[in-house]
């Protein structure tokens, strides 16, 4: 009887662990660099699903600010391509590198954007 209870408890623990691995959300870390290649802290990074929304700066789906290492972290994203707008003072990424590739589902995707 004790052996059966232990097996059930062990099996339940295994199921919980396996379920937690399936709960990983699609994420993206965006590293912002300046024209000299240095990372930039304090940059506002916005994500858009459609190019027309990106150009008009409306219907933003997510926003983050870069940390001291120049990284903006986004969680719970769709596995699609995003348009990225990065701005700090008079620097931005207009004219280059605005669209990501399609994100890989249930992974941490990484993108680097240059602002000038």
The tens digit of pLDDT for each residue in 30-52 reads 999 999 999 999 999 999 999 99
In a domain, 14, yes or no: no
In a domain, 8, yes or no: no
pLDDT at residue 23 in the model = 66
CA–CA separation, 83 and 76 (whole Å): 16
Which of 71, 75, 68 has the alpha carbon at shortest distance from 28? 75
Number of domains in the chain: 1
Q: Check which CATH number belongs to the domain holding 31 and give it.
A: 2.60.40.1120
pLDDT at residue 24 in the model = 78
pTM of the model: 0.80
Cα dihedral sign, 98-101-103-107? negative
**Tokens coding 6:** 């232990």
Does residue 30 sit in helix, strand or coil?
strand
In a domain, 15, yes or no: no
| Mean pLDDT across 44-71 | 96
In a domain, 57, yes or no: yes
- Identify the residue with better confidence: 54 or 9: 54
In a domain, 88, yes or no: yes
Domain housing 86: 26-114
pLDDT at residue 95 in the model = 75
In a domain, 17, yes or no: no
In a domain, 12, yes or no: no
In a domain, 3, yes or no: no
Cα first-last separation, the chain:
70
């Amino acid at each position: 009887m004790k052996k059966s209870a232990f097996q059930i408890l062990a099996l339940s623990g295994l199921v919980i662990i396996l379920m937690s691995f399936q709960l990983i959300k699609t994420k993206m870390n965006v590293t912002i660099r300046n024209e000299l290649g240095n990372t930039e802290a304090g940059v506002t990074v916005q994500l858009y699903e459609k190019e027309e929304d990106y150009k008009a700066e409306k219907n933003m789906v997510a926003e983050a600010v870069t940390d001291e290492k120049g990284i903006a972290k986004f969680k719970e994203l769709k596995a699609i391509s995003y348009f990225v707008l990065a701005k700090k003072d008079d620097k931005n990424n207009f004219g280059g590198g605005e669209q990501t590739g399609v994100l890989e589902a249930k992974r941490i995707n990484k993108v680097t954007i240059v602002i000038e």
